[in-house]
Amino acid sequence: MSDVVIAGVGMHPWGKWGRNFVEYGVVAARAALEDAGIDYRDVQFVSGADTVRNGYPGYVAGATFAQALGWTGARVASSYAACASGATALEVARAEILAGRCDVALVVGADTTPKGFLAPNAGERPDDPDWLRFRLLGATNPTYFALYARRRMALYGATERDFAEVRAKNARHGLENPNARYRKDFSVDDILASPMVADPLRLVEICATSDGGAALVVVSADYAKRKGLDAPVTIKAVSTVTPAFPQTVIEMPNFATDSGVAVSDSVTPFKDSITAAAYEEAGLGPEDLSLAEVYDLSSALELDWYEHIGLCKAGEAERLLHDGDTTIGGRIPVNPSGGLACFGEAVPAQALAQVCELTWQLRGQAGARQVDGARVGITANQGLFGHGSSVILTR
């Protein structure tokens, strides 16, 4: 299978801007086109990552962004996969290129979020698990994040200080990222002194809801050669897997697991399977990685991802953290961008933002947060209702 090349990346800074999400997507798209040196009129396919909170234009993001940039007759598609929407939109664009249907595709995701935590759309929907978990349990996202943290404490002896050290690491990384919403240094003691939100997680350990946008220009390998792209960043794998039965570890928005009583225990857990599929497609493994961007909805969840992406065995993530392996300058930096801790959630854009960061790192364009000698990077992300998301890039 031929490689697909990332020719350009662009972002609109994360924040709480309160404007139409389309504005953020257009800024990001134009930045990606400029980075690629490609005229928008040469784009043959526009793949939009949807945002369901922003009315009908959010549900048809591909056409919405294509119209805002200017109708050209390009083909479009729109993808919704909750927090994995950006990776799904990228996979659609990659498939178009690999099928030989186009040479140049633009992938865009952007969001404008409400104040406070994310919640289901309005209306009575008693058959909707996402609605039910709020109505029956009052289980907001931070509640789930705290349950995962408690699980880690019970299984592996993690402490509140461990979680605070993750947040402090990402704060240091985010200081150097001009697109990050929060660029403030926090000591571990500062974090432990912040208000408790969902025990054991404190205010600055839970990601905010944010506005922002991200975009990619992806092209065929032949087109990249014709354009003279030197040592381009290539997409080696995109994983969009679903769970396998039984799911014996709870996932949002469910409030019960599958029973494993009469089923083999050989099933790979969902979060492990996401990057396992990416490694298999790429013909690479955790030992080949230079860096990773993972989905730190909370500081505690980042520790879980160290294990899910194969950096260490279960229960060993705290050791990696304390040894400095996952900070910039360490063996395998994780979230050199600052992660969601410094960005917050702009749902359709965040999987694309992870790919932007890897691209800058692999090109050596990450400035003061640059990972030395970066050659291979992986993203890890997931969306509600069983949407896996992982992308592997190489240079």
Distance CA 350, CA 355 (A): 9
CA distance 4 to 263: 39
Helical axes 141-156 vs 299-308, angle rounded to 10°: 60
- Which is nearest to 25 in space by CA: 84, 88, 113, 110? 110
> CA-CA distance, 356 to 236, in Å (whole number)?
15
Contacts 24+ apart (CB under 8 A), 230-233: 231/395, 232/5, 232/6, 232/7, 232/395, 233/5, 233/6, 233/358, 233/359, 233/362, 233/363, 233/393, 233/394, 233/395
Question: In terms of DSSP bridges, do strands 387-394 and 376-383 run parallel, antiparallel, or are they unpaired?
Answer: antiparallel
The whole-number pLDDT of residue 258 equals 86
Residues 36 and 197: their CA atoms lie apart, in Å, by 43
Residue 175 structure tokens: 């200081």
Tell me: the pLDDT tens digits for 134-167? 888 889 999 999 999 999 999 999 999 999 999 9
Query: How many C-beta atoms lie closer than 10 Å to residue 196's C-beta?
Result: 13
- pLDDT-based confidence at residue 395 (cuts at 50, 70, 90): very high
For residues 49 and 307, give the distance between their C-alpha atoms in angstroms, rounded to a whole number.
Answer: 28
Rounded Cα gap, residues 374 and 281, in angstroms: 20
What are the chain's domains?
4-116+209-227 (3.40.47.10)
Which segments of the chain does DSSP mark as H helices, in order?
A: 21-36, 56-59, 61-69, 85-98, 129-137, 141-156, 160-174, 188-192, 221-227, 270-282, 299-308, 317-322, 339-343, 347-363
Q: What is the mean pLDDT of the chain?
A: 95
d(CA 78, CA 94): 14
pLDDT tens column, 54-105:
999 999 999 999 999 999 999 999 999 999 999 999 999 999 999 999 999 9
* Residue 157, both tokens: 């002896």
Least confident of 37-46, 112-121, 199-208, 287-296: 112-121
The average pLDDT across 180-195 equals 96
Say whether pLDDT at 192 is over 80: yes
Query: pLDDT class for 332, splitting at 50, 70, 90?
Result: very high
Q: Is the dihedral of CA 242, 244, 249, 250 positive or negative?
A: positive
Q: In the predicted model, is pLDDT for residue 254 greater than 80?
A: yes
Q: With 60 as the cut, is the pLDDT of residue 1 above it?
A: no
Measured distance CA(203)–CA(205) in Å, rounded: 6
pLDDT score at 72: 98
Instruction: Give the integer Cα–Cα distance in Å for 348 and 164.
Output: 27
pLDDT beyond 60 at 112: yes
259/228 Cα distance (integer angstroms): 55
User: Which has the closest alpha carbon to 120: 234, 253, 242?
Assistant: 253
Q: Is 386 helix (H, G, I), strand (E, B) or coil?
A: coil
Residue whose token pair is 């992938």 = 107
Expressed in angstroms, the distance from the first to the final Cα of the chain is 17
pTM, entire model: 0.96
Phi/psi of residue 119, nearest 5 degrees? -140, 160
pLDDT tens sequence across 222-248: 999 999 988 899 999 999 999 998 888
Q: Give phi and psi for 152, each to the nearest 5.
A: -65, -40
Query: What is the DSSP pairing of strand 211-220 with strand 104-111?
Result: antiparallel
Report the distance separating Cα 7 and Cα 229, nearest Å.
8
- What is the mean predicted confidence (pLDDT) over 284-306? 98
